[in-house]
Structure 1
Amino acid sequence: MRQIRTAPPKDEREYPLVITAEEKDKVLNYILVVANGKRTAKLNYKDIPDLRISKEQYEIVLEEFKNRGFIDYKGYGIEHLTLNFEIFNFAEKGGFTVERDLYTINFDVLELQLKRLEKELSPTTAIKVNNVVANAKNVTELVIGLKAIIEMLGT
């Protein structure tokens, strides 16, 4: 009698809406461990310990690594990776968590500089700077708003 094949069980786990720096670092570090000093590595999603992202999110992480020039890869399921020099430099500098922390620190420094600048400005200009900072929804809006104020002060 022939066995009937059934579909694998559906993955019922809940995954995060965003891929955190910590999860990307797990993939990055696992790649380096598997490569073990070599230029190539075979990687499987299921083998990465404590990974808390979906298979699709894992594929997105690998695509980001490829776009950043860290790796080249072929395959689906088991990826055959070729590591590029950039992956080693990035890992040496602390990976994605350090990159994220530096990004946050830069905003803290910007905030301190704006507070210092606010003390040196006239009250009306200080109000304009406060309004730009308070209403900026992202970095681009903040930069555009501050640039407009600088141009206004220059004329």
Structure 2
Amino acid sequence: MKSAIRLLSKLSIITLVTAFSVNSYATNNDEYQGLNCDGKKQAIQTKIDQAKNANNTNEVAGLEKALQEVNTNCKDETLEEKYKRLVVEKTKDVTDKTKELAEKTKEYAKDKLNANQDKIDALKAKLNDAEKELSDAKDKLADYYKQMTSNK
């Protein structure tokens, strides 16, 4: 019984790690494929050509399926909405973290304890991270618009 539980635990961990790896690969891969549908198609076709040159039939089959999915489902309008939604989400995150920092700074100032400075510094770090994510999202949206205007 214990060995079965251990096996299930190990399988669960392996499954989670694999799922995160695949998701991470897909996310990172998405960045290199271009920000619009034409860019995604070109990147996949390049990978298909490379896989064919390497005689990797399994990879070719998977990439051809991915290309078919992009041809069928990819719409630039949907991608634009995704990038806009990301900017809105990141803006809200920055606003929330700014408000939290202001509230905690005011609260801690009343206490006049230096021990709270670490907490304030941690909140500032979180705010800086959120601001960077917002900047990245804005850059991605701007790059999307550049790609769209250069394709016309």
Q: TM-score, normalised by structure 2?
A: 0.33
Q: Which has the higher contact order (CA 8 A, sep 6+)?
A: 2
Which structure carries more helix by proportion? 2
When normalised by structure 1's length, the TM-score is: 0.33
